[in-house]
Amino acid sequence: MTFLHTEGGSVADSGHAASAADGVDGASAEGTSQTTRALLGLRELLLSGEFPPGTRMSELPLVERLGVSRTPVRLALANLQHEGLLENLEGGGYAVREFTMDEIHDSIELRGVLEGTAARFAAERGPTPDQLDRMRRLSAEMDPLVHRSDVDSFWQYVECNREFHALLLEAAASPVLERSLERIVALPFASPSAMVQGQAEIPESREILVIAQSHHRGLIDAIEGRQAARAEALAREHARVALRNLEIVLDNRDVLERIPGASLINLADRATS
């Protein structure tokens, strides 16, 4: 999973709304395209630090900046407020959110709860033979990658890790759980692939990949063996690895500055702790 989430369901819903708002038959594709461009473009601007926390997001400048009409911008703002990157202002409109360390910790912890539930569901309901085969293939592909230090191997691991987590959710067979997890991983630093830049550059952070990969192997064994409690505990522990990686990156500010979303973190409470 890449850090910038596409969130297909949200985009499709927004595109449908844009088409209806325009009231023009045959404009669905164009409306969806503009809404997708507005959503992805605005999310990238927020995560790159273009707008500091507290900045009021005005529609007209964003229309010009993103090169889309006003309706897609309005829908993108609403989507990003739903994701948690923006907050409602009392007088109307939106402002850029700031994230405390407690909020980030809570988001990662909640992801662990939800992924733990997904692992438990997968073990209880039983994965298909094809799902188990794909899990094993991904794990086998990741095994040598975590011991290499070159950048290409690292990014191959990131892609395999994204597929593994998606497959875990697929095996859980729960659309309700999937929708809940999508909202959590949309927040900065909460997704399984958050802090990828840090893991690529910091040796100590790279070592965490070895631990994470051992969790992957354990999850496969637990799910295959229908050991629901073990699968849930492993998935929750797997998410907590991200907390350790976050602390490592926070201690390397030169790396932190290059991580998407870093400008949205309030580090004042950490500095005084």
Does residue 3 belong to any structural domain of this protein?
Answer: no
- Residue that finishes a domain, picked among 40, 69, 96: 96
Does residue 1 belong to any structural domain of this protein?
Answer: no
Tell me, what's the pLDDT at 52? 92
Structural domain of 34: 8-96
Does residue 38 belong to any structural domain of this protein?
Answer: yes
Tokens 């309901």 -> residue? 125
Residue 229 sits in a domain whose CATH number is 1.20.120.530
The two tokens of residue 120 are 């438990």
Kindly state the average pLDDT of the residues 50-58.
94
Does residue 46 belong to any structural domain of this protein?
Answer: yes
Query: Same structural domain for residues 137 and 197?
Result: yes
Query: Same structural domain for residues 115 and 39?
Result: no
59 confidence band (pLDDT: 50, 70, 90): very high
| Whole-number Å distance between alpha carbons of 39 and 49 | 16
Does residue 67 come out as left (phi exceeding 0), alpha (psi in the -120 to 50 range) or beta? left
- Residue that finishes a domain, picked among 47, 75, 96: 96
Kindly state the average pLDDT of the residues 128-148.
95
Tell me, what's the pLDDT at 195? 60
Query: Same structural domain for residues 44 and 140?
Result: no
Tell me, what's the pLDDT at 236? 95
Indicate the average pLDDT of the chain.
Answer: 83
pLDDT at 5 over 80: no
DSSP state of 86: E
- Please write the tens of the pLDDT for every residue from 7-32: 333 333 333 333 334 444 445 566 57
- Please write the tens of the pLDDT for every residue from 185-197: 877 777 776 666 5
Q: Which residues of 6-21 are buried (b: 16+ CB within 10 A; e: fewer)?
A: ebeebbeebbebbbeb
- Residue that finishes a domain, picked among 60, 80, 96: 96
The two tokens of residue 54 are 């507290």
If residue 96 lies in a helix (H) or strand (E), which one and from where to where?
strand 94-96
Kindly state the average pLDDT of the residues 74-78.
95
pLDDT at 138 over 50: yes
Does residue 248 belong to any structural domain of this protein?
Answer: yes
* Residue 58 CB coordination number (10 Å): 12
Kindly state the average pLDDT of the residues 150-154.
80
Tell me, what's the pLDDT at 189? 74
Query: Same structural domain for residues 80 and 112?
Result: no
Does residue 2 belong to any structural domain of this protein?
Answer: no
Adjacent-strand bridge partners of 88: 94
| Whole-number Å distance between alpha carbons of 2 and 159 | 8
Tell me, what's the pLDDT at 218? 97
pLDDT at 239 over 70: yes
Query: Same structural domain for residues 86 and 35?
Result: yes
User: Could you tell me the CA-to-CA distances from 24 to 29, 68, 73, 208, 262 in Å, in that order?
Assistant: 11, 17, 18, 52, 41
Tell me, what's the pLDDT at 223? 98
pLDDT at 126 over 80: yes
Query: Same structural domain for residues 192 and 117?
Result: yes
Kindly state the average pLDDT of the residues 74-102.
92
1-5, 79-83, 88-92, 256-260: least confident range: 1-5
Q: In what order do the strands lie in the sheet with 86-88?
A: 56-57, 94-96, 86-88
- 56-57 and 86-88 as β-strands: parallel, antiparallel, unpaired? unpaired
Query: Same structural domain for residues 113 and 209?
Result: yes
Tell me, what's the pLDDT at 262? 79
Does residue 208 belong to any structural domain of this protein?
Answer: yes
Query: Same structural domain for residues 12 and 144?
Result: no
Tell me, what's the pLDDT at 23? 44
Number of domains in the chain: 2
Residue 55 sits in a domain whose CATH number is 1.10.10.10
Query: Same structural domain for residues 110 and 55?
Result: no
Query: Same structural domain for residues 149 and 67?
Result: no
Query: Same structural domain for residues 137 and 249?
Result: yes
| Those residues with Cβ within 8 angstroms of residue 215's Cβ, 6 or more apart along the chain or in another chain | 234, 235, 237, 238, 241
272 confidence band (pLDDT: 50, 70, 90): low
Query: Same structural domain for residues 109 and 63?
Result: no
| Those residues with Cβ within 8 angstroms of residue 90's Cβ, 6 or more apart along the chain or in another chain | none
Does residue 150 belong to any structural domain of this protein?
Answer: yes
